[in-house]
Every structure is written in structure tokens, then in C-alpha cells.
Amino acid sequence: MTCTTEGCGRATSLYLCTACIVELDALLVDVPALIEMLAGVRAGTAVVRNPAAGSTGGHAGSKPPGSLDAMLLQAWLQQLPERAHTAAHDYPDAGQWLHMARIWVKQARELVWGPEEPVINHDANRQRLREAAPPMPTRELLPWLRKHAKITITSMDVRDWARRGKLRPVERDPLPTYHPHEVLAAWHDTRAQK
């Protein structure tokens, strides 16, 4: 038969395919802790890192920030099965559980632990640099990379990479200039070798 998760479509002998079982388990593993911490949010004893759950949360009324959300999420999380494999085995609509777990666990994590840290995508950054940045001398390059690519390198790194042929200056006179995306590539290379 086919996995019951919407949009999955993999062939499986249970109601969930292996990939969906693994994904559901990864969500379920946090559920007991989240339920406990949500109780703390409701009681006002938990330190909630998410300021967005407060005045901008969109819930009218005099409830303490996040308390209504916490109550709902707690009730929803308690409905989730304990183990993904059991769900895949026993529930013909197990795909629905995965669908709901994705939403509820994410909301609960955000309420309790705060929004996820933005991930810096170095590959995308490098691509953007290639399109946007002209070659520049080292003393402009370093602050530029710190600001736009969130990496810190030293002029010694640049000299070292140039000496070892990892990096080729675009111009040599009056100062050597480098393509930022090539410097970033050299930086990646060096890190990959460590």
C-alpha cells in the first residue's frame, strides 16, 4: 500500500513509510517534555523565551501571554500516539498524526523554547556574493565578509591561501584584489579539511 501521509506517496507495508516513521518519532521524542513545560507556561512559572506569544499573539482577552495557546497545545499534544511505529501499525490514518505533529510540535517548541535560530546558509551566501560583489583588496574584504557572510577571517588567512594557490588575486597592482566568493570558497575548503 501507499504511505498515508499527504503528499508522501512512498510504497510501504504499514500505514506510514519508513521515512515518515523516522520523522514522526523525531517529533514525538520531545512531546513529554513539551507537555510538562507547557504546564509551566500555563501556571506562569516557566520562563518563556518567545516575546511574540505576548501582546502580538492575536488572542484578545486578559489571559496571561501564551497561556491559552499553551492549554490548547497541551491538549493536542496529549492526543498524539507515543510511538511512531505503533501508529504506523495500528492507525489507518497515521499520516494525519504526522501532519498534526508537524504543526503542534513546532508551535509548542516555539512557545516553550522560542523561535528557531535562523540558519546561515553559506552556500546561498556564496552564490549571492558571486553575483553581487566586485573584487576587493583585503582590508575591504575582511569587514565586508564579516558583515555579509557572517564569517571572520584574517589577512594572514588570505595571504596563506594565495601563497598555497587556493586563491588567485584578480589584480595585483597597486594592491592584490580578490573575489569575495573565491575567498569564501577557500575558507570552506580549509574548514572541510580540519
84 binds Zn ion (CB under 5 A): no
DSSP 112-169: HH-SPPPPP-HHHHHHHHHHH---EEHHHHHHHHHHHT-----HHHHHHHHHTTS---
| 5 forms part of the interface with Zn ion (CB under 5 A) | yes
Nearer to Zn ion, 93 or 171 (CB): 93
- DSSP character at residue 12: -
Cα dist. 8→21, 37, 80, 89, 93 in Å? 12, 32, 20, 17, 13
Considering the complex, state which of residue 20 and residue 28 has its C-beta at the smaller distance from Zn ion. 20
Q: How far is the CB of 17 from Zn ion (least distance, A)?
A: 4
Number of residues that bind Zn ion (CB under 5 A): 6
Is 185 a binder of Zn ion (CB under 5 A)?
no
CB of 106 to Zn ion, least distance (A): 18
Does residue 3 touch Zn ion according to CB under 5 A?
yes
Pattern 10-29, binding to Zn ion, x per CB under 5 A?
x------x--x---------
Residue nearer to Zn ion on the CB measure, 8 or 72: 8
Angle between helices 155-163 and 138-148 (to 10 degrees): 110
Residues in the site for Zn ion, rule: CB under 5 A? 3, 5, 8, 10, 17, 20
